Structure 1
Amino acid sequence: MSELVRTYGRGLTALFVGLIVAWIVGLILVPQIRMIERAFIYEDRGGETAMLALEIDRLYTEKFKLEQRLKAGEGSGGGSGLPSPSLTPSPTPAPSLTPSPGLTPSPGLTPSPGGAGGGLSAAERVGAEARIGELNAQIAELEAQEDTSSGEAGMKESYSLDNFTTMSAVHVEIFVMTLLYALCVTVLCFLICYPVAYAAATMQSEEKLTLLMVGLVIPYAINELLRIFSWVMILEKQGILNWLFDALGIISMDAGEGFRFVASNGAVFTVMIYAYVLFMVFPIYNTIDTLDKNQIEAARDLGASVWKIHTRVVIPHAKPGIAVGSIMTFMLSAGSIAAPEIVGRGLHPDWFSQLIYRRFFEADSWNQGSAYSVALLVACVAFILVNMAIFKVGIRDIAK
């Protein structure tokens, strides 16, 4: 601290320290602590509140269909060519809290035997508008009940492990498979990046080294999402790769043939390796670059094979860089949402990061989403510890 004061003065030093403390506390510690706390708060959403939500959804669906029928009738000028339901008004039913097994027509929407050819008559239009008014009244009433129920007893919160223990077997399987996928990406990334890092560290020509580094860095001048979408353009059924196969006569795209590469996790692995390659290359390169090249020459002079030179000389020296690269690649892969969500969405097995996103923003279950996030965080921390144990490196070695 005294050295900082001598270099920058008291004012700038206080500003730097204040910004660092605000960053650590405000952007790291507080959000993480809050997320961990929410992970252990279980929200009981069962009972009457859940039934009310189901009934409200059903009424909204019915209302939407009626509104679409009215718009279709206006647009077609009285002729849709589709069987039309009878839109005669029905008595207002009492709100039912029994969930519908399906989207069955409401009492006033039974099929009309003579409605196959025309649009909406004036009577049917009046009936539809009356039914929409009834639905609006029912929805307002049920939403008021839902608000009351949620405030009083519908959303009971308590500290427990239920957010973790209620994780379904399917979600547990996705969690385990995501860790395996991230491990596969890490291993593949190492196998690709180690030769590149070794070649860069032992390259004699500065010009060639510069060209290699520029070639590695230039793709990162493009936004990550654009890089992912560029791979989608390559791997899709109508993409560049299938176009190349078509040009070579392997397939006929005009006949509808083509490989849908995005329908597998292999495509996701490819995109992730491309996206995170620098996080593996540079740590390994930095450590190999500090190796005394005379050790490699001495091993060659003593008759060591290429395999032994790497396993006995280079890799032991590069262990801190390999550990850092593995940690960063694994963490980024396990938590990635863009690649698995964009590349062949719905065509390959889900990743756990997609489940976390859905818990937060689709199911509106932030506490369970926090629990899923904490589970992934714990798994990643465990990987870091195991990784450091395997490579026999400590924090000091990694920081060098």
Structure 2
Amino acid sequence: MTFNYLNLVGNAELIKQLNYAIIYRLIVQQAPLSRIQLAEVSQLAPASITKITRQLLKNKLIKEVDAQQSTGGRPAVSIQAKFSYYQTIGVQLSRSHITIELYDLGGRSLMSEVHPLTIFTEQEVQQYLISLLKQFIENHSKKIKRLVAISVVLPGLIDSQRGIVRYTPHIQVKAWPLAEMLRKEFNVTIYLGNDIQSLALAESYFGSTQDVEDSILIRVHRGVGSGVIVNQQLLTNHNQSACEVGHIQVDALGERCHCGNFGCLENRVVNDAIERRAIQMIEQGYPTKLTLDACHIANICQCANQGDELAIKLVKDAGENLGRAVAIMVNIFNPQRIVLAGELTKSPQILLSAVNSALNALSLEDLRKNLTINCSSLNDRSAIGAFALIQQALFNGSLLMTLFDDYN
């Protein structure tokens, strides 16, 4: 029998990373904590806590604060996370614009810019994005002292592990190695992810699903996307994707979808579909305050909130169709919370009532007993989903190890 020392070394490094990750996450989420409390909660030896906190202090990731009240003996010093020393950049590459935001390590937005996207080939977008990032860093150089990571999220099929864009609906790509290109240009750690999955992760870190283990986020915009969190971890598969909710069939007699199927959810609830239906019904003579010139989704939601019957019907129909898809996901995943995002949520009471009506009719009662459904508390047009990938890397320890290597 041969003994593989390389595996031992690898395992030791992984254990070190996970231990640092546990302590850092505890400090971020539960501070202030003393070293004694960290040892009790993490079940790591006090000597290990001392070593880990010493390294985190050295790298300006945590700080000691006023001593806690002592009941006798030497007072315990509290520890908190220090977010301001390092900076990160989050990028949302949507179908029509590029949002670039500067964040500290606590997810606080320090600066934000939005630029239009009017070019749609891989090489052109890459050059444009790099030039925008260079200009952003130059413009805000006084705030960017120690840039440690750039994260980019966009719609489509994203191979996060390899940093490759396999498919995105608005850019002509062919295994686009975007992460590698950005790493060469900026010499920092690069993260790449799907925008909706990343938004689900952001909701679990900073939004309305922080207090639950299992949740689903569904965002309705030009398409319908979803992200599933199980045991506070983003659910992905071998193809870096999961839960293509937009192509669940909700109407067998519905119109043909671009995917080839009939009556897909996407065809019934996206902004364009609701706006087209509103125009058709106005032209057919339905009484409404809506006009053909102002028939966009924001106006539809506003009129629905004001009691306009046609607008209410449009939002309610979309909510019922969304509820049919939600019921399927509840039956499969049994989440504790479902969060809805997108412009349609600007009419929350009507929307949630319709979703719950369909859900109650189509899902198992035992699976929805403790389920809550609400609208997102985050700005889904910001780059907070991109920062969530950086937070994930801090919480699993991989970015912590990189910081130790780069700044020691």
Q: Verify same fold: TM over 0.5.
A: no
Structure number with greater Rg is 1
TM-score by length of 1: 0.25
TM-score by length of 2: 0.25
Relative to its length, the structure with more helix (as a share) is 1
Relative to its length, the structure with more strand (as a share) is 2
